[in-house]
Structure 1
């Protein structure tokens, strides 16, 4: 077992994937000081009775694998990341990229305040300029009416501003759109923001002479962003097949492709979300809302683009600062910034027992800290994918991990799963038909 005593606490779990589920669970339980009940939640998850209180027409529960993204250093803190995902290579890829990032000190992150946007759509407004003036003049009254969450208000959050937008050309008629900016603090904020929008709609009707139709939050939470960056010495990427300089140049070319071409960008950004969605699901957050906001943000300048920036830089830190005549050392710099509305209170985050354990493993104390971890995971996931694409290709590693799923689909059980998966990978034939042939030969 890895030594997780406070003096040597590290997310660098060497050989973690080779251990049994029981051994891995024991390591994580020690890391996060989990109780027996919390360990049980990792294995048994959500009960049918609990599920029946969360959504309608429940007939059962559907399980997905929960793994640990290892090796992360984020803002100087060692972090283990719970991830719920069914796709092979996601957890392995992100853990490998986080290991690479350690050579540059790990990930540095930041975030904005947790500002959400509520929209109120007003129809039939006769004088838009006068309506705008009336709304802005009544801003204090509107903000007071929107202060509908005592819990959030008591902690310093709630409505903070009003904005007015005019849509002169729509498919039906001109519209006046009012944005209520709302600091949701540690909540994702959908319920609080929607309630606030409902509360101000009657006053907006009186101020404008219009009719309020839609009153709902926007999932393009571009006032609630998080970002991560990383600098990794080129030599970290060196292998017998290519120099580190060649590898990082390939990564930059791959990113440039995704910045210029929406067909590539869609797959590029999907790779980012492989990691972010997995953490969102593990912590009970709304991954669908996250995806909607991310894809809208990726097209904010009129063309859908990659969300990441990767470039080659001179790594002055490698020699304690660049000096005249010193040999230049190259490094890969990466940055990801995106809207990320997540919470650590309310909703499924508190209703699902495993989500609560996942948050404890992460050791986060605010929604902003969770968002910053998630964006670091997204950047790491992207690095893993485009490094593989720019070197040996994505299929080699992905299909080797996929072989276990193929073995199971062919009917393998117990020790036969790993034996047949290893044979499939060695042969380069990751097919159910071949797995069945190997099973028959046992």
Structure 2
């Protein structure tokens, strides 16, 4: 009898298949089988060939006040110190008035790539490149109306056209990019924009005689920026000496690419962890932010730090932020829905401000630690608990082993096991 295809199996059948063909034992299988609060049918509808879930710890960042509203912010992340650092930064920022943030309207860009039919073509409907753009401009309203037949909530508000030259190794010549600007309201908007792009593609080919290749949204959400600012009182960050050191740290991140990458990774610790908890496409957010970091041709810090007239430290962040509070897994994933209720957000713009504030807070804590005691002291204090668990510590032993290693400045699995052995003997 022919074996079922993996995609046609149920969860038990897939896990049995893996057990008989891999090194998984029954304990491994049970981990995959346990899907917690999420039904397997829901998981199976999210991804192909599902076998279970991969859980991340979710913690709460406290002390955040954004635009005068208090938030408890869920963060899904496996890295120690991120949540504590963000909470501490928010507490200091709160003494300076909290975070002030503003998000643009939810305008996303969809792109249709048009390849003109040139003179060496035998196609009788050829039109030269400049005339193609003229034809498209003359039919802009028609194309807009066609796009808007594909959604009841999103709205195509404008269309732009640009002529670009292939800069790849293939030297394929000119192409025309038709860009639709779509207000996606409280949705991230990927699906509706892709649908709109596919809907207008045949009409564009008919109008121009050209050939459409790609029909896809852009994750570079330059029309959907979020900005956030906070004041960190000088006396609460260690005084003038530490403030100046922070400014030097920022100068390096702005100027040197190797430092900028690590600097921005710290920002994304805050951004991604909230995005994951809130069910957002954190890969798209990452890609857009990193592109924005090199918009002037040099990869730079996503944040800006300076001293104001009162002598306090000011931090600012400006990044593309395509997020949604409706659609996708925000409607299907029970933990995501719970996290959004926890945040008590009323719109995608509000969610964008929370994510930006989390990134700014995390960046402050990182550069403050680097500029003062170094990153390892606080990080290793929290990491020591993971090391204690790896060594076999349980319950109250975890804290005792962790504390001893930190006191000795010797955080390692071997030392944790020695301390644990001593505890067990006594």
The interval holding the TM-score normalised by the smaller chain is 0.7 to 0.9
TM-score (norm 1): 0.83
Runs ≥4 in structure 1, deviation > 3 angstroms? 148-151
Structure number with bigger Rg = 2
- How is 1:325-364 mapped onto 2 (pairs within 5 angstroms)? 330-364=311-345
Alignment counterpart, residue 289 of structure 1, candidates 277, 284, 287 = 284
Q: Following TM superposition, by how much is the alpha carbon of 1:44 offset from its aligned partner in structure 2, in angstroms?
A: 4.2
Q: Following TM superposition, by how much is the alpha carbon of 1:407 offset from its aligned partner in structure 2, in angstroms?
A: 1.0
Q: Following TM superposition, by how much is the alpha carbon of 1:365 offset from its aligned partner in structure 2, in angstroms?
A: 0.5
Q: Partners in 2 of 1:364 and 1:148 — Cα distance?
A: 29
Q: Partners in 1 of 2:303 and 2:409 — Cα distance?
A: 33
Aligned to 1:257: 252
Q: Following TM superposition, by how much is the alpha carbon of 1:237 offset from its aligned partner in structure 2, in angstroms?
A: 1.5
Change in 2 beyond 3 A, CA 1:263/1:148:
farther
SS in 1 for 2:49: coil
Alignment counterpart, residue 106 of structure 2, candidates 114, 136, 139 = 114
- How is 1:356-375 mapped onto 2 (pairs within 5 angstroms)? 356-375=337-356
Alignment counterpart, residue 80 of structure 1, candidates 68, 72, 92 = 72
Q: Following TM superposition, by how much is the alpha carbon of 1:45 offset from its aligned partner in structure 2, in angstroms?
A: 4.2
Aligned to 1:56: 48
Q: Partners in 2 of 1:205 and 1:149 — Cα distance?
A: 19
SS in 2 for 1:433: helix
Change in 2 beyond 3 A, CA 1:161/1:276:
same
For 1:206-228, what per-residue CA distance to the aligned partner results, in whole angstroms no more than 9, with x for missing partners? Answer: 22221111100111111111010
Tell me if structure 2 keeps the 8 A contact 1:149–1:158: no
Please say which of residues 403-412 and 166-175 is displaced more in the overlay: 166-175
- 1:68 is aligned to 2:63: no
Q: Partners in 2 of 1:232 and 1:426 — Cα distance?
A: 30
Q: Following TM superposition, by how much is the alpha carbon of 1:247 offset from its aligned partner in structure 2, in angstroms?
A: 1.4
Q: Partners in 2 of 1:82 and 1:204 — Cα distance?
A: 45
Tell me if structure 1 keeps the 8 A contact 2:82–2:269: yes
- How is 1:41-52 mapped onto 2 (pairs within 5 angstroms)? 44-52=36-44
Q: Partners in 2 of 1:411 and 1:388 — Cα distance?
A: 30
Please say which of residues 125-134 and 424-433 is displaced more in the overlay: 125-134
Tell me if structure 2 keeps the 8 A contact 1:230–1:335: yes
Q: Partners in 1 of 2:150 and 2:247 — Cα distance?
A: 46
- 1:160 is aligned to 2:141: no
For 1:383-421, what per-residue CA distance to the aligned partner results, in whole angstroms no more than 9, with x for missing partners? Answer: 010000000000100011001111111122222112111
SS in 2 for 1:314: coil
Tell me if structure 1 keeps the 8 A contact 2:116–2:129: no
For 1:296-347, what per-residue CA distance to the aligned partner results, in whole angstroms no more than 9, with x for missing partners? Answer: 11111111110111001112xxxxxxxxxxxxxx111111000000000011
Q: Following TM superposition, by how much is the alpha carbon of 1:46 offset from its aligned partner in structure 2, in angstroms?
A: 2.8
Structure 2, unpaired ranges of 5+: 1-34, 119-127
Aligned to 2:225: 225
Change in 2 beyond 3 A, CA 1:169/1:49:
closer
Alignment counterpart, residue 391 of structure 2, candidates 410, 415, 418 = 410
Change in 2 beyond 3 A, CA 1:183/1:404:
same
Tell me if structure 2 keeps the 8 A contact 1:148–1:195: no
Structure 1, unpaired ranges of 5+: 1-42, 239-243, 316-329
Aligned to 2:362: 381
- 1:170 is aligned to 2:167: yes
Q: Following TM superposition, by how much is the alpha carbon of 1:71 offset from its aligned partner in structure 2, in angstroms?
A: 0.2
For 1:326-384, what per-residue CA distance to the aligned partner results, in whole angstroms no more than 9, with x for missing partners? Answer: xxxx1111110000000000111121111111111111100000001110111001001
Aligned to 1:30: none
Q: Partners in 1 of 2:268 and 2:339 — Cα distance?
A: 18
For 1:163-206, what per-residue CA distance to the aligned partner results, in whole angstroms no more than 9, with x for missing partners? Answer: 11111233331211111111111001000010000011111112
Please say which of residues 47-56 and 338-347 is displaced more in the overlay: 47-56
- How is 1:208-247 mapped onto 2 (pairs within 5 angstroms)? 208-238=208-238, 244-247=239-242
Tell me if structure 2 keeps the 8 A contact 1:47–1:61: no
Aligned to 2:411: 430
Q: Partners in 2 of 1:45 and 1:95 — Cα distance?
A: 28
Q: Following TM superposition, by how much is the alpha carbon of 1:124 offset from its aligned partner in structure 2, in angstroms?
A: 3.2
Q: Partners in 2 of 1:148 and 1:344 — Cα distance?
A: 23
Q: Partners in 1 of 2:330 and 2:117 — Cα distance?
A: 41
Change in 2 beyond 3 A, CA 1:369/1:149:
farther
Q: Following TM superposition, by how much is the alpha carbon of 1:48 offset from its aligned partner in structure 2, in angstroms?
A: 2.9
Q: Partners in 2 of 1:420 and 1:148 — Cα distance?
A: 63
Aligned to 2:137: 136
Q: Partners in 1 of 2:402 and 2:162 — Cα distance?
A: 57
Change in 2 beyond 3 A, CA 1:429/1:246:
same
- How is 1:175-190 mapped onto 2 (pairs within 5 angstroms)? 175-190=175-190
Tell me if structure 2 keeps the 8 A contact 1:148–1:192: no
